[in-house]
């Protein structure tokens, strides 16, 4: 080492060493997109999610403009038999009817809206809370970390369905719901979103904490500190940009479980109110009828599986593309 | 312990005049070793820096050398106030900065900058070069056209200002280190602490960065604390050199003096590993030290070097002398402008490799 380095010094002083360093490569996002594009499954997942999102967004257009059926419109005369058994798919009712004689296609279409809305909003809150708490825990460490990490452990170890049922049931007894601090949880969507966010932020919190813990040891953080950067600046300007990738991956992975969560609550009759179509509620409806009305189980079930599967494929693809070390 | 320290300034060179820019006095850093999951208790301490005293004068380069783990980086981070010392004092520009709060420390942060070893880890991969070099201006709310300043800095350190919006991974190691140099230079600091700034680079690139650092020193009248384990590099760039072993400062002299007449057996051993002729080491055969560096958690009693010291064994006819084993040798003047902490310092010209085989 000593010899070669000093040789080079001497050489450089005589102008013998020319800078041979070229600039190469692309921006991190270009690289990411390049890798992501190779992953056909993830790409398929993304396309399906986009299509579902578009479907959800234009659900009213389709239902009123094309099939001319509203989500809560009853067709008991045409779509239920004398004995009250729903009729199956036909040219007018593409997915058949549900037990009340409503158009199942329109119900499922609006159910897409509900599922995506609840899951995405709840995931958004979970990401917000999880990121802030995870950053604080990982960055400050010590007693703060112990407190916040144990809190996350406790939340994660709670039997969530049991607690969710308890909270939703307790808050749904009156129209006022539960005032929790500044939050005013009214029955219906707000409380469902609250419960889902409450139980899913620790997943993001843990990931963010772990990543922050290792990022805080990096020399670039020390460099920022030596420049006199404040803790807030270090957390949000230095560390946070490095957390975007893992946050993206894990949020795309908790969206499907949150969709299932909403469906489960609705299945149990605790989710969104009767008037709002939901896959979970359709499925619970189907449990009494599927022996004679297979479509009631198959169509909502298919959409539920398709959506969760697509999100999982997307999440896996994002992870592989953003972090080549775990990749193929 | 402090009475064993010699008053400053003791070791001077042509480059040392006036009041020191930085003085560290009896600087000590112990990292607690904790056990237990919830109720952590301290079971031991890593004695990373132990009672170190030295000064750095305006405009000079003080080299700091020693094997891995001897406390060089810790010393650097203590001076930059990235770590709080266990005891001792740090005086910068006449002011005691040892205990300043982070708010009161802020103005000093402009004057003390660091260049880090790893040109990959020291640049945020998610920030563009413009953001990275512009950060010092943003943090200190400097008035003026930041963009232009950043471009000027890039130009000055040999980067293409057109690459303002590029990300670190688009650059080679040497270019990244130039980004780190530009960031350190941004606020026109008085002191730049270079913690092994070239160790991670290709040999040919090392020389370019070293030349850049030397040019910048002349142009901006910078003072460097230059840490390295490469003695060739250190000799080239330093006016004076300090040698650390196991957290202790064991020898300090002007660069030529240290290389030509090392007085501490550890320094002589280090130099013997530098190939002859190149860095001017006069010891022909490599002195192979016995054993590994002891753990800083449980350092040897007496002189920290005594278990491995070839000279001590020679003096004691195979046995390590009593005082080496039990008493910490003070950092004492062995010659004008040359201090060493050894009970039996080498005589100038004393051949160590023969003793090692004696
Ligand atoms: N944050 C820390 N916590 C505990 N021990 C530490 C910490 N930082 C450093 N140490 C220990 O202090 C000692 C000195 O470390 P330091 O990094 O200063 O050595 P160094 O001379 O810079 O070595 P290198 O050449 O490998 O960079 C080592 O034993 C190291 O393990
Ligand atoms: Mg180091």
- Predicted confidence at residue A191, as pLDDT, reads 86
Ligand 2 centroid–CA B196 distance in Å is: 7
Considering only CB atoms, which chain B residues are within 8 Å of A30? Answer: none
Tell me whether residues B279 and A6 touch, CB distance under 8 A: yes
Confidence of residue B5 (pLDDT cuts 50, 70, 90): very low
* Alpha-carbon distance values, B308 to A263, B265, B290 (Å): 71, 10, 5
Nearest by CB to B236, which of A9, A26, A233? A9
Helix (H) or strand (E) holding B95: strand B95-96
Q: Which two tokens stand for residue B288?
A: 């192979």
Residue B263 sits at φ, ψ, to 5 deg, of: -110, -25
pLDDT at B8 over 80: no
- Cβ–ligand 1 distance for B46 under 6 Å, the answer yes
Question: What confidence score (pLDDT) does residue A97 get?
Answer: 84
For B135-171, how does the pLDDT look when each residue is reduced to its tens digit (9 = 90+)?
999 999 988 899 999 999 999 999 999 999 999 988 9
How high is the mean pLDDT of chain B?
88
- Share of residues in chain B with pLDDT > 90 (%): 65
Average pLDDT over residues B89-94: 95
Residues A60-79 have pLDDT tens digits of: 888 888 888 888 888 888 88
- Report CA B93 to chain centroid distance, whole Å: 19
- Contact state of B167 with A28 under an 8 Å Cβ cutoff: yes
B121 touches chain A (CB under 8 A): yes
Ligand 1: which residue has its CA nearest to atom 28? Answer: B69
Lowest mean pLDDT among B33-42, B116-125, B334-343: B33-42
Nearest Cα of chain A lies from the Cα of B316 at a distance, in angstroms, of 33
pTM equals 0.82
Around Cβ B226, how many Cβ atoms within 10 Å? 27
Ligand 1 pocket member B48 (CB < 6 A): yes
The H or E element that residue B43 is part of is strand B41-56
Residue B253 confidence (pLDDT) above 60: yes
pLDDT at position A175: 74
Is the Cβ atom of B76 under 6 angstroms away from ligand 1? no
Q: Do B124 and A242 touch (CB under 8 A)?
A: yes
Query: What are residue A183's DSSP bridge partners?
Result: A180
pLDDT in tens, B164-215: 999 998 899 999 999 999 999 999 999 999 999 999 898 889 999 999 999 9
Token code pair at residue B221: 């009248």
**The pLDDT value given to residue A272:** 80
Q: If you average pLDDT over residues B108-131, what whole number do you get? A: 93
Q: What pLDDT does residue B30 have? A: 96
DSSP code string of A252-314: HHHHHHHHHHHHHHHHTT-SS-TTS--HHHHHHHHTTTTTT-HHHHHHHHHHHHHHHHHHHHH
List, in order of start, the domains of chain A with CATH numbers: 43-326 (1.10.3720.10)
Distance of CA B217 from the midpoint of ligand 2 (Å): 22
Q: Is the dihedral of CA B127, B128, B129, B133 positive or negative?
A: negative
User: Domains of chain B, with CATH numbers?
Assistant: 22-111+189-357 (3.40.50.300), 126-180 (no CATH)
B353: pLDDT confidence band, cut at 50, 70 and 90? low
Q: Which two tokens stand for residue B198?
A: 């070239």
User: Chain B 126-165, CB below 8 Å of chain A: which residues?
Assistant: 126-127, 135-136, 139-140, 158, 160, 163
Query: B40, B71, B242: which to mutate for ligand 1, most atoms within 8 A of CB?
Result: B71
Which pair of structure tokens corresponds to residue A228?
């006199």
pLDDT string in tens for chain A (328-residue length): 444 444 444 444 443 333 334 444 466 777 788 888 889 999 999 999 999 999 999 988 888 888 888 888 888 888 888 788 888 888 888 888 888 888 889 999 999 999 999 999 999 999 999 999 999 999 999 999 999 999 999 999 988 888 888 888 888 777 777 777 777 777 778 888 999 999 999 999 999 999 999 999 999 999 999 999 999 999 999 999 999 988 998 998 899 899 989 888 888 888 788 788 889 888 888 888 888 888 888 999 999 999 999 999 999 998 888 865 543 3
Q: In what order do the strands lie in the sheet with B41-56?
A: B41-56, B22-35, B87-92, B95-96
Render B242-279 in DSSP notation, one character per residue.
EEEETTEEEEEEEHHHHHHS--SHHHHHHHHTSPTTTS
């Amino acid at each position: 080492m000593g010899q070669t380095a000093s040789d080079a010094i001497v050489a450089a002083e005589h102008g013998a060493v020319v800078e041979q360093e070229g600039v190469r490569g692309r921006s991190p996002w270009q690289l990411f997109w390049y890798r992501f594009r190779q992953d056909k499954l993830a790409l398929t997942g993304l396309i399906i999610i986009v299509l579902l999102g578009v479907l959800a967004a234009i659900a009213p257009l389709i239902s009123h403009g094309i099939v001319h059926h509203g989500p809560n419109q009853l067709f008991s005369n045409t779509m239920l038999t004398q004995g009250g058994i729903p009729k199956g798919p036909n040219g007018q009712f593409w997915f058949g009817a549900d037990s009340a004689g409503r158009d199942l296609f329109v119900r499922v279409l609006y159910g897409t809206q509900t599922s995506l809305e609840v899951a995405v909003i709840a995931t958004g809150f979970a990401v917000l809370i999880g990121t802030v708490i995870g950053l604080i825990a990982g960055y400050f460490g010590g007693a703060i970390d112990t407190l916040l990490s144990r809190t996350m452990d406790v939340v994660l170890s709670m039997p969530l369905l049991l607690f969710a049922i308890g909270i939703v049931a307790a808050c749904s007894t009156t129209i006022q719901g539960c005032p929790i601090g500044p939050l005013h949880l009214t029955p219906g969507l707000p409380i469902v979103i609250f419960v889902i966010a409450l139980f899913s932020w620790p997943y993001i919190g843990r990931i963010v904490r772990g990543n922050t813990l290792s990022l805080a040891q990096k020399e670039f953080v020390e460099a920022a500190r030596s420049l006199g950067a404040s803790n807030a600046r270090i957390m949000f300007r230095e560390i946070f940009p490095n957390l975007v990738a893992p946050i993206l991956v894990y949020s795309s992975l908790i969206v499907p479980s949150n969709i299932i969560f909403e469906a489960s609550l609705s299945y149990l009759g605790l989710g969104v109110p009767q008037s709002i179509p939901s896959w979970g509620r359709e499925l619970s409806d189907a449990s009494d009828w599927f022996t004679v009305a297979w479509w009631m189980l198959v169509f909502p079930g298919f959409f539920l599986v398709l959506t969760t599967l697509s999100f999982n494929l997307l999440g896996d693809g994002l992870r592989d593309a953003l972090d080549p070390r775990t990749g193929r | 312990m402090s009475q064993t320290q010699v008053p400053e300034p003791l070791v001077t060179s042509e480059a040392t005049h006036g009041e020191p820019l930085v003085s560290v006095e009896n600087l000590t850093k112990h990292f607690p070793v904790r056990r237990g999951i919830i109720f952590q208790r301290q079971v031991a301490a890593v004695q990373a820096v132990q009672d170190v005293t030295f000064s750095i004068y305006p405009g000079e380069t003080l080299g700091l050398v020693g094997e891995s783990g001897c406390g060089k980086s810790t010393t650097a981070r203590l001076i930059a106030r990235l770590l709080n010392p266990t005891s001792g004092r740090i005086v910068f520009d006449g002011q005691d900065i040892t205990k300043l709060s982070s708010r009161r420390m802020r103005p000093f942060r402009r004057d003390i900058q660091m260049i880090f070893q790893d040109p990959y880890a020291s640049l945020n991969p998610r920030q563009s070069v413009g953001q990275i070099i512009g950060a010092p201006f943003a943090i200190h709310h400097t008035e003026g056209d930041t963009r232009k300043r950043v471009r000027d800095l890039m130009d000055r350190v040999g980067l293409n200002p057109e690459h303002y919006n590029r990300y670190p991974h688009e650059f080679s190691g040497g270019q990244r280190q130039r980004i780190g140099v530009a960031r350190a230079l941004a606020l026109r600091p008085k002191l730049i602490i270079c913690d092994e700034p070239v160790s991670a680079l290709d040999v040919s690139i090392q020389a370019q960065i070293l030349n850049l650092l030397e040019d910048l020193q002349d142009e901006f009248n910078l003072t460097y604390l230059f840490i390295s384990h490469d003695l060739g590099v250190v000799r080239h760039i330093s006016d004076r050199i300090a040698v650390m072993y196991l957290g202790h400062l064991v020898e300090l002299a002007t660069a030529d003096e240290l290389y030509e007449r090392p007085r501490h057996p550890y320094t002589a051993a280090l130099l013997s590993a530098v190939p002859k002729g190149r860095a001017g080491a006069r010891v022909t055969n490599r002195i192979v030290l016995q054993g590994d560096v002891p753990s800083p958690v449980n350092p040897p009693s007496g002189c920290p070097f005594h278990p491995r010291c070839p000279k001590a064994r020679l003096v004691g006819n195979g046995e390590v002398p009593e005082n080496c084993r039990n008493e910490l040798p003070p950092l004492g003047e062995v010659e004008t402008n040359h201090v060493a902490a050894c009970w039996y310092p080498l005589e100038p010209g004393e051949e160590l490799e023969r003793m090692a085989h004696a």
